[in-house]
Chains A and B, each alone.
Chain A
Amino acid sequence: MAQAPALPRGFELPLEPRLPRIGAIDAVSLEARAGELAKRSIKRESKLYALALAVRMMDLTTLEGADTPGKVAALCSKAQRPDPVDPSVPSVAAVCVYPNLVPTARARLAGSGVKVASVATAFPSGQAPLEVKLAEVVAAVEMGADEIDMVIDRGAFLSGRYAKVYDEIVRVREACGEAHLKVILETGELGTYDNVRRASLLAMAAGADFIKTSTGKINPAATLPVTLCMLEAIRDVHDETGRMVGMKPAGGIRQAKQAIQYLCVLHETLGVDWLTPDLFRFGASTLLNDVLMQIRKQKTGVYQSPDSFTID
């Protein structure tokens, strides 16, 4: 007779004072709440603060088949001095690249404090044998990655093989060693907010430092309601265990205005404790220049031509 798999380690919720609860998500209400928060009107100093924070939280990303050392080197310069004209603009949190480009990024970012993040585990599909995935993670870390962005096996998740997903994350976590682990759920493929919540809890139980929405290769990528759903899961884990897990919406965030909306959702869901690059990141490639343009607008009162910001 088939046996139900035991709850994985770290995933047990206390029996007292109530039964373990994964919980459900009501899509209509979740989207309404996200829509409400998106209407917050952020002005003046609070806006400038939010924009600078968005820069500090950015994982500047390039994940193309056509990526070259030259392209990554340019991106690394941008990451350190996003706006060469305005030295008060902080550098970004990390540069996110494919494993083969980690050495270039490592060399270019040495001493800058900007982290090197590498995608791994057969990004973006995750459809490869576990050994291959682990080897990729180990290689990326050896080449100098500070952070690993892994993908979960959505095929396993959607067919109900949660234990396989969990085990993989645990093994990858071990392979990361000192490196930080971000677990990409690829919410656009999960289909329901209930699944997003389950996958979030699963990833956090397996040891994720961050949970991340998307690879950027699938539409829809990050959305406000999905992010809200994941932040609520993070909040529940924090309530139950005291653990603070980070969040990274990625893909589809192109405008400063959107970034501020995400920060409002973050602020009103998890509070100021999470308003730090240690616990929140934006995965984006084109967002940075719009944020820079808005910062310049806030400081000078006028919009500058897009050509006054470098394209790297």
Chain B
Amino acid sequence: MTELEKRHSPVPAPLEWDYAPAPEARDIVRFQERYGLFLGGEHVEPRSGEYFPTISPSTEEPLAEVAQAGAEDVDLAVSAAREAFTNGWSGLRPAERAKYLFRIARILQERSRELAVAESLDGGKPIKESRDVDLPLAAAHFFYYAGWADKLEYAFPNRRPRPLGVAAQIIPWNFPLLMLAWKVAPALACGNTVVLKPAETTPLTALLFTDVCRQAELPPGVVNIITGDGSTGAHLVRHDGIDKVAFTGSTEVGKAIRRELAGRDVALTLELGGKAANIVFDDCALDQAVEGIVNGIWFNQGHVCCAGSRLLVQESIYEPLVEKLKRRMGTLRVGDPLDKNTDIGAINSRQQLDRITELVRAGEEEGAEIFQPECALPDRGFWFAPTVFTNVAQSYRIAQEEIFGPVLSVLTFRTPAEAVEKANNTMYGLSAGVWTEKGSRILWMAERLRAGVVWANTFNRFDPSSPFGGYKESGFGREGGRHGLEAYLRFD
């Protein structure tokens, strides 16, 4: 061979083109060794004197210690919020309130890389999601509600809106900072003050947010943040100084809160679990529907209350669709949440991993067929491979119960009416997806699906201007949009 021929001789393709690790630098965020509570604009030691560690679920390494707020701490937090509400915040000119919210929004944008890294470290979600979804949306919520602050009279003409007072807000671990934004932004825009309790396993971005509040020079006591486990939340809900509870989390806890508040003059909104149907018709854009299914269930490891965890496929396209889906699962990259190429990160906690494992075992025992693509899971940390169950019957636990993990159950239907019937046949009603090229069918389905959100030819899309909330055991009240204001107002 001449030299030139050698040059051209085709180099055989490698068996695998591995993407080299592309980790986001983690030194952009520095955690303190220990965090206290944020009361009345100050970081203080908890009266309880107790702390607990928060770990990174991808490595199990401890990241920091956070305070376990007790009854006395909760009392101080509510007093601080009351004080701020009465002496200033509720009487502030609405346009002034808006300025603080705009400021917070801009600071969130400026510090978005730091907060995204913190979110991925503490919660286990892939950096591409915290970077491209959580942080931009959190900032967008503050921008959006900042705009409403001085226009409440126009949002509710002839109804004289007034703030409620002190809002107790308890948020989950799946979108820690974003859920904080969903709660804090409308509450503040409407003139309330808040006591917010982040989830036990993911307190760090909320604690970094206290820094954002100080940077924005938010008046002391307008936002108070207390950390702790379920008992802290219980103290908060039981406290007689609160005017409103906003809770996002499990249906079980939501029911307990509602029982607790029965007979009390405390407003309540609940955003609870879901078992969303993602309905795929045979005339859909098939490859894009596959992407939508993937996004519907494997976004944030399936730790999404509105996840499309029940896939309803029209029987005529069942085989090609499932085949395409399985192949696509093979390209999902599971691993280090800080790697920019990671699609699926770590399960949030050992407890959640145990629950997923238990339900998956139940699915196998009930007779569903399990499929998991080959993927190497890291040795340390909490991991679960993306999973699909086929041959699932409506009666199986995996088709009824919320798994809150990367597990999809596939069922089939024959006609649109049957699809509606199966989709609605659940105790939940948070979201649904419809995949079809037929516009009229989208509208027909949306009219009949009992779900707070119906996505057409997309899934898991959020926007601050779009209301979000559930039917039935998925809760009540709406967050986002003009509707989201109503949850934080009373009307004379």
Contact = CB atoms under 8 A, between A and B. Distances in A.
B16 A111 contact: no
Interface residues of B, number: 40
Interface in A220-254: 232, 239
Contacts of B10: 56, 276-278
Tell me whether chain B's interface is mostly helix, strand or loop, or mixed.
loop
Interface in B383-413: none
Nearest to A232: B287
B283 A47 contact: no
Interface in B1-42: 2, 4-5, 7-11, 13-22
A166 B15 CA distance: 36
B7 A273 contact: no
Nearest to A88: B7
Contacts of B292: 29
Contacts of B341: 40-41
Interface residues of A, number: 44
A80 B291 contact: no
B457 A28 contact: yes
Contacts, number: 107
B466 interface: no
Given A33-B291, A39-B340, A275-B13, A46 B7 contact: no
A135 to B, nearest CB: 31
A42 B11 contact: no
A43 B317 CA distance: 39
A24 B13 contact: no
Interface in B441-492: 457-458
B4 A25 contact: no
Given A40-B341, A44-B20, A18 B316 contact: yes
A52 B9 CA distance: 13
A26 B288 contact: yes
A40 B285 contact: no
A56 B176 CA distance: 47
Contact of A39 (B2, B7, B9, B128): B128
Contact of B22 (A33, A43, A113): A43
Given A18-B316, A29-B285, A91-B8, A111 B19 contact: no
Interface string B308-338: 0000000011011001000000010000000
B62 to A, nearest CB: 28
B4 A49 contact: no
B340 A272 contact: no
Given A43-B22, A91-B8, A272 B288 contact: no
A260 to B, nearest CB: 10
A268 B331 contact: yes
A80 B8 CA distance: 8
Given A28-B458, A41-B341, A278-B10, A111 B5 contact: yes
Contacts of B22: 41-43
A78 B167 CA distance: 70
A23 interface: yes
Nearest to A19: B316
A114 B8 contact: yes
Contacts of B61: none
Contact of A46 (B11, B19, B316, B317): B19
B285 A113 contact: no
A251 to B, nearest CB: 24
Nearest to B22: A41
Interface in B107-165: 128, 132
14 contacts: A23-B287, A24-B284, A24-B285, A25-B285, A25-B288, A30-B287, A40-B19, A40-B341, A41-B19, A41-B341, A111-B4, A112-B4, A113-B7, A272-B13
Given A23-B286, A275-B13, 14 more contacts: A24-B284, A29-B288, A29-B291, A29-B458, A39-B340, A40-B340, A46-B19, A87-B7, A90-B11, A91-B8, A111-B2, A239-B323, A273-B13, A277-B10
